[in-house]
Amino acid sequence: MPNGFVVIDQETWEGSSVEQRALMTFKTLQSIDLRLQKLERRPLTDKCFSFLGGILGGFAAALGIKLGG
């Protein structure tokens, strides 16, 4: 389970019963929900830095497109 996600290959999925597949799906969705809750609780400063990084990255990309092409 790297990075908190349940990783299932195709052979495991095909060899599983309907109940097992439902449980695997539930566990994966529950893991995603917990990760999103952690992201939403991040401090305001982290969100601001992410926003500013997006602005600077977008500006740099626009500048690169204008100068490069």
Which pLDDT tens digit goes with each residue over 23-69?
Answer: 989 988 898 899 889 888 888 888 899 999 999 999 999 999 988 86
Which residues, at least 6 apart from 8, have a Cβ–Cβ distance to it below 8 Å? 24
> What pLDDT is recorded for position 20?
92
- Sign of the C-alpha dihedral, residues 12, 13, 17, 19? positive
- Give the span between the Cα atoms of 23 and 33, in whole angstroms: 15
Strands (E) located in 1-69:
none
pLDDT-derived band at 2 (thresholds 50, 70, 90) equals: low
CB 3 within 8 A of CB 32: no
pTM of the predicted model as reported, rounded to 2 decimal places = 0.54
